[in-house]
Amino acid sequence: MSPHAAELTAILDPKRVLTEREHLLTYGFDGTAALQGEAGVVVFPQTTEEVAKIVRYAAKEKIPIVSRGSGTGLSGGSIPTAKAIVLCLVKMDRVLELDEKNLTIFAEAGTITQKITETADAAGLLYPPDPGSMKISTIGGNVAENSGGLRGLKYGITRDYIMGLEVVLASGEIVFLGNKCVKDVAGYSMKDVFVGSEGTLGIITKVLLKLVPKPASKKTLLATYATMDAAADTVSAIIAAKIIPCTMEFLDRITIKCVEDYAKIGLPLDAEAILFMETDGHPAVTGEQAKQMEEIARRCGAKAVQIAANAEEAAKLATARRSAFSALARVSPTTILEDATVPRSELTKMIRFIQDVGARHRLRIGTFGHMGDGNLHPTFLTDERNTEEMERVEIAMKEIFDYAIQLGGTITGEHGVGLAKKKFLPEAIGEASLSLLRQLKRTLDPDGILNPGKIFD
């Protein structure tokens, strides 16, 4: 049993303190393949005050503390350090307020993202960020990783919707950063420091989010291509026509086959690429834009373009993209989903390079992602028990990240750095920027107890 269990059960109901080894091993994983740890103890606070008490105890005893939600992260961000207190926030899952006058929603960090979306939708409002894990990921985790999603091209990412955060600092002090004001420039924008901080600077306990009016209509299209170049040309031409779709996603040939085997929705198995596109807004606008997008796609070489006739058909087409990861995960024992990101203009080069890397290193890599914003998901279908193959995967990953940086891109668009990518960070941001991150970490967490070893050593 953890030597800290007695003190923690004095803070929490003993039923919310786990010490059995099977639980400690279970909470040693997140969604990242081939990474694991073992917790020292797992605790489930239900209030911010309980979180603060746990952090104050950890600070006094210099115990590492790792916060987590549903554990869907893909960069090892919630893998615990040995003997760490794993602070799981899933029991803090209440929507506290929906403010229709100020277009905000206030929720605890453990609230499932889809619950946020559904609560807003019921009031005729929209919370735009829609990460692929939204049915299970928590809003606090989304903020900690600065998650993206399929609607990022038009609506932006999680950071763009954060109006305020309640945070427990490394000392156990509780602060609230931000407010409901659309304009607020008093002092440093401290809430932004914690967005994407991956639990290394403070523990996010409540989130105040901006909402927008729900679009009156949406049109969904699926275009099929014989070449990836033609799909990329379509994206460029649509943007050049001053149309900003809310969604513009692509699947490569390997992913198309896996999705069709999985979902059986009638995708063409001879296609090299498909584009899934959505436009939303006023009905007259979406209708006109859908026609323009269809014309542009055909002009750029699309073999076929399908426009969904109704919501049911649109949902069926959306399955092609939203099931991509699940479909690929069925193929091999280990699925490693990455998220190299490049400027939109460099997408074709990047996709070709990923295909070349797979061929040279004898690896099966399915690629899909957000073609509208340059965020690619090269997905390695492998087996972590095969040491020699995993060595080739590591070499291939480094080549992909190096090339993304060479093209003016970055090592992650939405998954975060965590453990998985920290060795690539110095090249991605430079030593001067890395030094600033370290200074900030030392200032806010001088004893280094919050999620140690993540982002950088």
Cβ neighbors of 320 (< 8 A, separation 6 or more) are: 222, 251, 259, 263, 265, 267, 274, 276
Residue the block writes with tokens 């990240």: 401
Q: Is 457 helix (H, G, I), strand (E, B) or coil?
A: coil
**pLDDT tens by residue, 371-414:** 889 999 999 999 999 999 999 999 999 999 999 999 999 999 99
Instruction: Take residue 344 and report the two structure tokens written for it.
Output: 């939109």
Instruction: Take residue 67 and report the two structure tokens written for it.
Output: 């916060």
Nearest to 276 by CA among 337, 319, 227: 319
At residue 316 the predicted structure's pLDDT band, cuts being 50, 70 and 90, is confident
Question: With 90 as the cut, is the pLDDT of residue 35 above it?
Answer: yes
**pLDDT tens by residue, 209-268:** 999 999 999 999 999 999 988 998 999 899 999 999 999 999 999 999 999 999 898 899
Mean pLDDT score, 296-300: 97
Residue 319 is predicted with a pLDDT of: 85
Nearest to 30 by CA among 337, 296, 291: 337
- Packed helices 283-299 and 228-240: angle between N→C axes, nearest 10 degrees: 140
Query: How does DSSP classify residue 27?
Result: T
Return phi, psi of residue 227, to 5°.
-140, 150
- On the CB side of 241, CA atoms within 13 Å amount to 19
Q: What is the dihedral of CA 238, 242, 248, 250, to 10 degrees?
A: 30
Q: What is the pTM of this model?
A: 0.95
Cβ neighbors of 200 (< 8 A, separation 6 or more) are: 441, 445, 450, 451, 452, 454, 455
Cβ neighbors of 34 (< 8 A, separation 6 or more) are: 334, 336, 384, 390
At residue 1 the predicted structure's pLDDT band, cuts being 50, 70 and 90, is low
